[in-house]
Homo-oligomer: A and B are copies of this chain.
Amino acid sequence: MFKLSKKADYGLIAVKHLAMHRDEHACSATEIAEEYGISTMLMAKVLQKLARQRIVSAKHGASGGYLLAKEPSQITALDVISAIDGPVLITSCVTNHGNCGAADKCSVREPLRRVNESILSVLSTVTISHMSEEQHEPVLVELQT
C-alpha cells in the first residue's frame, strides 16, 4: 500500500546511528546490524547502496567501516529512501517495466503528481539532524492542491 520498505527503514536507522557516533570510530555493518538485531548481510547491502550514492563513505580493511559523508543536517530522509529504493513515485504511471494502461484516459494523474510533489517536499524537509533532536518545531510545507 503506502509503506516504507524495510531496507529503507534500516537505512535510516544506520544513518542515524552513524550520526550519533560521529567523530568516533568508523562503524562496521556488523556492528550496526547487531545493535538493532538485523541480519548483517542485509545491513551490509543497505550500507552499500548508501555508499554508492555518497551518503556514507566506506573504509575498507581491518577496523574499517562506514562514516557519514555529509553533515547530518545535509542529509534528508528523501536522500536515504531514494538511495535505497529508487525515486519516490506514488503512482505506477512511469515505472520500471511498462507504464499504466489507463494513462491516456486517466484523470487523476495530474492531481496525484501534485500530491507526489508534496510528499517529496515533506520527505526532503526532515533531515537526519531533525530526527535526532528532541524539540520539534513545526515547519510549514506548501501543498499545491
Contacts and interface: CB of A to CB of B under 8 A. Distances in A.
- How many copies the complex holds: the figure is 2
Given A2-B90, A108-B9, A143-B141, A126 B136 contact: no
Interface stretch (A46-54, A55-63, A64-72, A80-88): A80-88
A72 to B, nearest CB: 12
A101 B143 contact: no
Interface in A1-57: 1-6, 8-9, 12-13, 16-17, 20, 35-38
Contact of A122 (B1, B122, B126): B122
A122 B143 contact: yes
24 contacts: A1-B81, A2-B3, A2-B4, A2-B89, A3-B89, A6-B92, A9-B91, A9-B100, A9-B112, A13-B106, A13-B107, A16-B107, A77-B115, A111-B130, A118-B122, A118-B141, A119-B119, A122-B143, A126-B143, A126-B145, A138-B143, A138-B145, A139-B142, A140-B142
Interface of A: 1-6, 8-9, 12-13, 16-17, 20, 35-38, 77, 81, 85-86, 88-92, 100-102, 105-108, 111-112, 114-115, 118-119, 122-123, 125-126, 130-131, 133, 136-145
